[in-house]
Amino acid sequence: MTTADPLDTQSADADAVIGRAATDGSALCTADFDYQLPERLIAQRPPERRGDSRLLLLDGASGERRDARFADLLDLLDPRDLLVFNDTRVIPARLRGHKASGGRVEVLVERISGEREALCHLRASKSPKAGSRLLLEGALEAEVSGREAALFRLRFAGDVPLLQLLERHGHMPLPPYIQRTDDATDLDRYQTVYARAPGAVAAPTAGLHFDDAMLAALDRRGIARAFVTLHVGAGTFQPVRVDDIASHRMHAEWLQVDRATCEAVAATRARGGRVVAVGTTVVRALESAAAASSAAGPAASTAELRPHLGDTRLFITPGARFAVVDALLTNFHLPRSTLLMLVSAFAGRAAVLDAYRHAVAAEYRFFSYGDAMFLLPDRSAWGRR
């Protein structure tokens, strides 16, 4: 197996935008990543059983695609391969209530910043000012202590840690395109079976297809696995609001790539296997670590991937070169979204959009509770539009 070229970045930190303009000097536009999706194809509930999903296979280099089932993933992997999962755990981050002065309010915790403090999204008819009190479900009380850009800083009363309060009283933060309130089913199904580290407010949805039986089958095949942690933020659902994608600034998400995972990647390279990312969050985590490793000093190969911890705003667009990831399992993504741009960078924009058109015609189920794709890269598109 040929090792991927080093990551092509404009800067060496985890805030980099990876990609280039078209070869004629024109900029890529948000409209270049649009497609038509009937609302009826947006999955509102998970399938009856994990893994009871369809799987669309796409070879980005040839454009060849094939309809399959998720269970067929076993036949797509080689014992030399490494599956990398995101072990973040979704917290019940949504709280409803009202302002002490009147008026309904909905709180979505974006990031817990202290034992009883958090940065939050607030939905209210009028934005509360610093010092305002919020009366929330479970007799919870919070005070608005300030703002950071679009987020509100909240301080929760009492001596119980905020994470415990959310586990008792919060609602699962279903995405905005799921047109229903959460229920008891979502506590289990909007969570991967291997979730470990609490902190996400959106699920790493490619992992939702795996059940214990599939993980056991992978073990029997001798397919290794490793983990990263990336706490998915609500910004993952935010649309790109500028025409020129180079002007878009990504939301920040916290990640950790530990030494064990770096060593697993090195061992996979040594035995000629592929690094298979389970979800776009894993891609962002590994490629952020690769960018940071490159900044720390020259690396002769991706075997020298170094541990990394901190925030990333990495924005991967067509023209990127991927340093670590060789194959990608992912769900379908929203039109004009940064995640569709990432997938297009990996497997080629034309091939990906053609595959999406096929998925619509074949009535695949879309987004978080929907079906999945398995993508092989179009390396010839890396470094150009």
Per residue in 107-162, pLDDT (tens digit) is 999 999 999 999 999 999 999 999 999 999 989 999 999 999 889 999 999 999 99
| Shared domain check, 102 and 86 | no
Q: Which residue has the higher pLDDT, 11 or 19?
A: 19
Question: What is the distance of C-alpha 163 from the center of its chain?
Answer: 22
CB-CB neighbours of 208 under 10 Å: 24
> Looking at this protein, which amino acid is placed at residue 261?
T
**Domain-located, residue 3:** no
| Shared domain check, 218 and 109 | no
Res 92: pLDDT: 97
Number of domains the chain contains: 2
pLDDT-based confidence at 1, cuts 50/70/90? very low
Average pLDDT score over residue span 73-84: 98
Which DSSP symbol is given to 29?
B
For residues 136 and 95, give the distance between their C-alpha atoms in angstroms, rounded to a whole number: 7
Res 366: pLDDT: 98
**What order do you get walking across the sheet with 275-278 strand by strand?**
65-69, 54-59, 372-376, 327-331, 275-278, 82-86, 224-230, 253-257, 308-312
**Domain-located, residue 1:** no
**Domain-located, residue 177:** no
Average pLDDT score over residue span 306-324: 95
**Cβ(113)–Cβ(156) below 8 Å:** no
Sequence-distant (6+) residues with CB within 8 A of 170 are: 91, 92, 93, 94, 95, 109
pLDDT digits (tens, 9 = 90+) for 258-269: 999 999 999 999
Sequence-distant (6+) residues with CB within 8 A of 87 are: 192, 194, 195, 196, 197, 227, 228, 229
**Cβ(195)–Cβ(89) below 8 Å:** yes
Listed residues 129, 144, 171: the one ending a domain: 171
Tokens read off for 327? 């194959």
Helix (H) or strand (E) holding 36: none
pLDDT-based confidence at 342, cuts 50/70/90? very high
| Shared domain check, 62 and 119 | no
Average pLDDT score over residue span 359-377: 98
**Domain-located, residue 366:** yes
Q: Taking 90 as the threshold, does the pLDDT of residue 211 lie above it?
A: yes
pLDDT digits (tens, 9 = 90+) for 178-190: 999 999 999 999 9
**Could you list the residue range(s) of the whole structural domain that residue 82 is in?**
17-90+189-381
Q: Which residues pair with 375 in a beta bridge?
A: 58, 328
Mean pLDDT value across the chain: 91
Helix, strand, coil shares of the chain as percentages rounded to 5?
Answer: 30, 30, 45
Res 383: pLDDT: 75
Beta strands in 181-314 (DSSP E): 197-200, 224-230, 253-257, 275-278, 308-312
Instruction: Report how far apart, in Å, the C-alpha atoms of 19 and of each of 9, 60, 205 are.
Output: 7, 17, 25
**Domain-located, residue 329:** yes
For residues 99 and 132, give the distance between their C-alpha atoms in angstroms, rounded to a whole number: 7
How far is the first Cα of the chain from the last one, in angstroms, to the nearest whole number?
24
Listed residues 117, 137, 171: the one ending a domain: 171
| Shared domain check, 151 and 237 | no
Pairing label, strands 151-156, 117-124: antiparallel
Q: What is the CATH number of the domain that holds 59?
A: 3.40.1780.10
For residues 119 and 135, give the distance between their C-alpha atoms in angstroms, rounded to a whole number: 17
Average pLDDT score over residue span 52-72: 98
